[in-house]
Amino acid sequence: MYDVVLLGVLLAAIAIGFGLGVRHASRRRQRTHDSRPSGLSREYFVGLNYLLNEQPDEAINTFVNALDVNSDTVETHIALGKLFRARGEADKAVSIHQNLLARPALSTSTNEHVQLELARDFMALGVHDRAQRMLRALLDKSANDLYRQEAKRLLIDLLEREKDWQEALDVAQSLFKQQPGMQRPAAHWLCELAQEEIHQASRAIARKHLKKALQLDERCIRATLMLAELEMDNGHYTRAIEYLNHIPQQDIAHIPTMLPTLQHAYERNNDIQGFETHLYRLLGQAPYTSIIIALGELVHQRDGVDSAIEQTGEWLREAPSLGGLDYLIDLYHESQRLSGKTPPDTRLLLLKHHTNALLEGKARHRCRRCGFASDSLAWQCPSCRRWGTIKPITGVDGE
């Protein structure tokens, strides 16, 4: 990390040196009789000395003091502000960018560029009200489409952080055609609004939000799952199952996510046979561990533990997994207990100890974008903040 920072400082130093060199050359042409090096050049080399002695803070401060604000150096000041913000020193970035805005000679385009950077600084500091005011002012006044689009993107990000879902939707509305990727987060914002309506017992409004979410993103698992749960609350179990039946087509990786609700719907509908048939259909689509265990339990309850051992063993030969092995060991323990065998088989106890140790603390979900792992499902990744990218882990170590 230190090497990256040092590289950034070095690049900034080179940019500053270039700017100083250009200005110094201009001064030499104007004052050819004076061959003495300028004071600015001396400060620049002092900064380089700090840099070479691995003192980046002192180096940056020296470079900032050495560089006057003018049309040749404003981009370098902006770059230094970005560097401070990237290093977690957004307060210093604010000072640099506010100093730039105080200069009346800045062009309109440059002024708006600096305002964008200052808004980012305030966001990094958590001063969201000031950032929001700056971004809304840019949206109202800027004639530069690129700056307007960036201001809108930053404002949406800010509103999302503040959980102002409706306002984020209103701002993003005009971006859906130009940026289709905005539709996925917008669908989740609608799910958030639906959740709020459910808490206020406004289920009809919640259902409208969820259907709108599916219009924006037809693969929004969360909206489908919430619609199924609303049908469950109303006692419409067959309708809930119909909604859940869409989830494998939306995203097959989320079959484990829907299984508890699916099982509950069939149980409340007094249709265990239908649940078993549904599980066999899902097993043919994706032989996940949770499906195998659910089927194993149904066989166990209907035909006994030995039949469950036989069936589960066959399924695991086709799709081995650590979780499936752990379940199979439990079945063997149950079989020995029922047969009256004492003491328990020490080999099984040892295997159970090892599977428990391997499964303990193991994450069950992972973000497909940044790799963040957690035991529970989150619809927005806490690390990269992308929506709908966290899914159940599959394979030998997972589902």
* 188 and 317 both lie in a single domain: no
- 381 known ligand binder: yes
Distance, CA of 306 to CA of 296 (rounded, Å):
11
As a whole number of angstroms, the distance between CA 81 and CA 118 comes to: 9
**171-186 burial, b if ≥16 CB within 10 A, otherwise e?**
bbeebeeeeeebbbbb
Distance of alpha carbon 19 from alpha carbon 44, whole angstroms = 11
Residue 6 belongs to a domain: yes
> Are residues 66 and 11 both part of a single domain?
yes
In a shared domain, residues 29 and 67? yes
pLDDT at res. 74: 78
Q: Is the Cβ–Cβ distance between 129 and 155 less than 8 Å?
A: no
> CA triplet 278, 284, 287: central angle to 5 degrees?
100
pLDDT at 287 > cutoff 90: yes
CA distances from 111 to 71, 86, 134 (A): 12, 21, 12
142 and 281 together in one domain = no
Q: Of the segments 108-122, 168-182, 224-238, 324-338, which one has the largest average pLDDT value?
A: 224-238
Residue 32 binned pLDDT confidence (cut-offs 50, 70, 90): very low
Residue at 271 is within a domain: no
Distance CA 391, CA 257 (A): 9
CA distances in angstroms from 363 to 78, 174, 321, 366, 372, listed in the order given: 42, 38, 14, 7, 10
When mean pLDDT is compared across 260-274, 316-330, 331-345, the lowest value belongs to 331-345
Average pLDDT of every residue of the chain: 85
| Better-scored residue on pLDDT, 203 or 84 | 203
Same domain? 355 vs 377: no
Beta strand residue intervals within the chain, DSSP E: 365-367, 373-374, 390-392
As a whole-number percent, the residues of the chain with pLDDT over 90 amount to 59
- CATH assignment of the domain containing 372: 2.20.28
Does residue 259 lie within any of the structural domains? no
> How confident is the model at residue 119, as a pLDDT?
95
Which has more pLDDT, 143 or 57? Answer: 143
155 in the same domain as 13: yes
Torsion-angle region of 287 (φ positive above 0: left; ψ -120 to 50: alpha; else: beta): beta
Within a domain: residue 269?
A: no
**Looking at residue 28, which CATH number applies to its domain?**
1.25.40.10
Which ranges in 31-73 belong to alpha helices (H)? Answer: 39-52, 56-66
Digit-coded pLDDT (tens) for 3-18: 555 445 444 544 555 4
Both 76 and 17 in one domain: the answer is yes
Please name the residues in contact with 337: beta carbons below 8 A apart, sequence gap of 6 or more.
344
What distance in Å separates the CA atoms of residue 310 and residue 330, rounded to the nearest whole number?
A: 13
Residue 347's pLDDT is: 84
- In angstroms, rounded to a whole number, what is the distance separating the alpha carbons of residues 196 and 93? 38
H or E, element range at 175: none
Average pLDDT of 52-81? 64
- My answer on whether 211 and 153 are in the same domain is no
Average pLDDT over residues 165-185: 92
**Two structure tokens written together for 329:** 């060991």
Q: Average pLDDT of 173-182?
A: 87
What average pLDDT does this structure show over 63-78? 66
Domain encompassing residue 26:
2-168
Residue 36 has pLDDT above 50, yes or no: no
Residue 131 belongs to some domain of the structure: yes
Over pLDDT 70: what percentage of the chain? Answer: 82
Domain for residue 13, yes or no? Answer: yes
Contacts of 364 (CB under 8 A, 6+ apart): 374, 375, 376, 392, 393, 398
For the chain, the domain total comes to: 4
Q: Are residues 14 and 163 in the same domain?
A: yes
Range with lowest mean pLDDT among 99-103, 208-212, 311-315: 99-103
Is the domain of 97 the same as that of 185?
Answer: no
Q: Which of these, 176, 203, 209, 205, lies nearest to 191 by C-alpha position?
A: 209
191 annotated ligand-binding residue: no
**Residue 260 domain-assigned (yes or no):** no
Q: Are residues 342 and 395 in the same domain?
A: no
Note the pLDDT of residue 106: 81
* pTM score, whole prediction: 0.79
Q: Under a CB-based contact definition with an 8 Å cutoff, are residues 327 and 293 in contact?
A: yes
Are 215 and 71 within one domain?
no
Which pLDDT band, with edges at 50, 70 and 90, does 96 fall under? Answer: confident
254 falls within a domain = no
